[in-house]
Amino acid sequence: MRIDRKNVALCVLSLVIASVPCAALAHGSGFWGEEAVADSTAPLLVSIDFDPPNGVRRADPAMYTSFDAYVVLDGANPGNLPGGLRTLTLRFGVSEGTSSAPQFESLLPKKLVMGGWREGIMMASAPCAAEEHIVIGVLHLFYLGKPGSVTILDHPDFPRWVVDCEDEARVFEVGSHGGIHSDPPPVAE
């Protein structure tokens, strides 16, 4: 296993969340030293939802009020994500002038969060989250009066990684971004 900042971050998450020594993960777990790959199973979709689980993709808050953009993962059933969700990586874009500095909060059980919403977040959960529809976290926003959007972007080091409880990594697809006083922007292919 190469020792670099990526492996150190994943090692810390594995030790804290699963009490698994890094050396054990380096030999045969599936994601150390390998790229996350798309799977032939149903897609894992990460979306912005302003009123989970209702799939509300647009928010129209009053001027100078707080509101929340929830991040949800769909398709995490046992046949699709064995044992449930352990780790997920992403980052967000928020249109300039739409909100004062957002704050991200993980809603996973016994959460561990590394990084920030703008530069990239790696979050983990213990025990594993194993529902079909998982509310991963929430971005707390404060509307400043300019229409815009909340977009889901790739983590700079681990783009769109979802690690299941058997330590296998996959990539998620973006289901939908969120619009603020506008329709959500389309998801890029």
Q: Tally the domains of the chain.
A: 1
Kindly report the CATH number assigned to the domain that includes residue 160: 2.60.40.680
Q: Tell me: cis bond preceding 147? Omega within 30 of 0 counts.
A: no
- Amino acid present at 181: H
Q: List the pLDDT tens digit at each of the 189 positions of the chain.
A: 333 445 545 554 554 545 444 443 433 344 444 455 444 467 899 999 999 999 999 999 999 999 999 999 998 777 788 888 999 999 999 999 999 999 999 999 888 999 999 999 999 998 888 888 899 999 999 999 999 999 999 999 999 999 988 888 899 999 999 999 999 999 986
- Amino acid present at 90: L
Cβ contacts of 37 within 8 Å, gap of 6 or more: 169, 170, 171
Q: 8 with 1: CB under 8 angstroms? A: no
Range of the domain at 170: 37-180
Query: Would you say residue 165 lies in a domain?
Result: yes
Query: Would you say residue 3 lies in a domain?
Result: no
Encoded tokens for 77: 């059933």
Query: Would you say residue 23 lies in a domain?
Result: no
Chain centroid to Cα 25, Å, comes to: 22
The three-point CA angle 14-155-129 to 5° equals 45
Give the pLDDT score at 81.
85
Query: Would you say residue 18 lies in a domain?
Result: no
Query: Would you say residue 25 lies in a domain?
Result: no
Query: Would you say residue 6 lies in a domain?
Result: no
Q: Three-state SS for 3? A: coil
DSSP 8-state secondary structure symbol assigned to residue 99: B
Give the pLDDT score at 35.
53
- Radius of gyration of the chain from Cα atoms? 17
